[in-house]
Amino acid sequence: MTDKKEAERTGTERAAILLLTLGEKEAAEVLKQMGAKEVQRIGAAMAKLSNVSKEEVQKVIAEFSTSVESHTSVGVGAEDFLRKVLVDALGQEKAAGIIDRISVGRSTKGLEALKWMDGRAVAELIRLEHPQIIAIVLAYLEADQAAEVLTHLPANTRSDIMVRIATLDGVQPSALSELDDIMEKTFAGKGTTRTSALGGAKAAAEIINNLEPSQEGVIMEQITQTDEALGSRIQDLIFVFDNLLEIDDRSMQELLRQVASDKLLLAMKGAEDSMKEKIFKNMSQRAAEMLKDDLESKGPVKISEVEGAQKEILQTARKLAEAGTIQLAGKGEEYV
């Protein structure tokens, strides 16, 4: 029986077993190197593990070619362990969100299935639903996927959906269960669930941050026309290229090490003088002189290329901030 169970373990479950043997700090360090979706998948597997034998742990460790001197008590207090590891790795706020999604995801198969589909397919499934249903679905997805789905929905509905996401203050268990049932009719699953803290201005800002600049501008203008105060609140949470002026020099230096030179050159073509000086200041004199020469010799470039390069640099900055490598100030501190 045990051999059969071990043979059925997925790669994610084996990774979860390995993390549970490492201890909280070591496991946290591993999780810091993963993306949010990977953390959620492995975290869910960790939370569900129980009655894992010492022999199975040893087998998993051998398979990963990892030497350990002792073993943790796998399956005992796994949820408390998971919570401590996630808080250590991601901070209280992000950990709480992921733990909540993991707990919901144990029984919410319909909504979880959407996370493995491309944006166009999800949009086709939900496009005829009530805007409030669409808003809840997008709030449940990762921000980048939600942004992709939004681009495939009718343009005249996008700002309304974003307003609904921004004003969403959690979801009642019955409402989320009903939504899960709707999704599961498509995927032939079963559904029960519990409440989840979805939505809010920050969730809306994170989705908007993942849109193309042209779409971002249109949607923000429409939101502000509908509700000026809400538009202002979302705008305060949106992280834009000029916000990089507010980060400290050490963080800027680390960011510049992670940015490709061609992307930096493009981004600086549309940057204010103060931003250029900030960047030059945090480079070696030789590198700064070379970049200045390249800027002078570089011909005209499309605004869309400049905005695209700036967007990539911002995405890199957010990833570094989420990993704790740099700190973002001002509006960006919502992402730290």
Q: Which DSSP string do the residues of 271-313 spell out, in sequence order?
A: --HHHHHHHHHTS-HHHHHHHHHHHHH-----HHHHHHHHHHH
Average pLDDT over residues 204-227: 80
Whether the CB-CB separation of 219 and 208 falls below 8 Å is answered with yes
Question: Which residues, including other chains, have CB under 8 Å from residue 208's CB and lie 6 or more apart?
Answer: 147, 162, 216, 219, 220, 234, 238
120 — phi, psi (to 5°)? -65, -40
145 and 188 both lie in a single domain: yes
Q: What digits encode the pLDDT tens for the residues 152-175?
A: 999 888 999 998 888 887 776 666
pLDDT band at 253 (very low <50, low <70, confident <90, very high): very high
pLDDT, mean over the chain: 75
SS3 72: coil
Quote the tokens at residue 258: 């992670």
27 and 98 both lie in a single domain: yes
Q: Concatenate the DSSP letters of all residues of 127-181 into one string.
A: TTS-HHHHHHHHHHS-HHHHHHHHHTS-HHHHHHHHHHHHT---B-HHHHHHHHH
Q: Looking at the 3D structure of the chain, how many domains does it have?
A: 3
Residue type at 97 in one-letter notation: G
pTM exceeding 0.75: no
Using the 3D structure, point to which of 36, 71, 106 is the last residue of a domain: 106
Q: How many CB atoms lie within 10 A of CB 60?
A: 22
The pLDDT of residue 300 is 86
% of the chain at pLDDT higher than 90: 10
For residues 21 and 69, which has the higher predicted lDDT (pLDDT)?
A: 21
Radius of gyration of the chain (CA): 23
Angle between helices 155-166 and 201-209 (to 10 degrees): 140
The pLDDT of residue 280 is 93
Q: What digits encode the pLDDT tens for the residues 80-138?
A: 666 666 666 666 666 666 665 555 444 445 676 777 777 888 888 888 888 888 888 88
The pLDDT of residue 99 is 60
265 — phi, psi (to 5°)? -60, -45
For residues 276 and 210, which has the higher predicted lDDT (pLDDT)?
A: 276
**Cα pseudo-dihedral 60, 65, 71, 73, rounded to 10:** -30
The pLDDT of residue 331 is 39
Domain that holds residue 36: 2-106
d(CA 163, CA 196): 19
Using the 3D structure, point to which of 199, 221, 237 is the last residue of a domain: 237
Q: What digits encode the pLDDT tens for the residues 288-322?
A: 999 999 998 888 888 888 888 888 888 888 788 77
Question: Is residue 210's pLDDT more than 70?
Answer: yes
The pLDDT of residue 36 is 66
Whether the CB-CB separation of 89 and 42 falls below 8 Å is answered with no
Using the 3D structure, point to which of 65, 89, 106 is the last residue of a domain: 106
224 and 248 both lie in a single domain: no
The pLDDT of residue 228 is 85
Q: What digits encode the pLDDT tens for the residues 219-247?
A: 888 888 888 888 887 876 777 788 888 88
Q: How many CB atoms lie within 10 A of CB 331?
A: 17
302 and 319 both lie in a single domain: yes
265 and 329 both lie in a single domain: yes
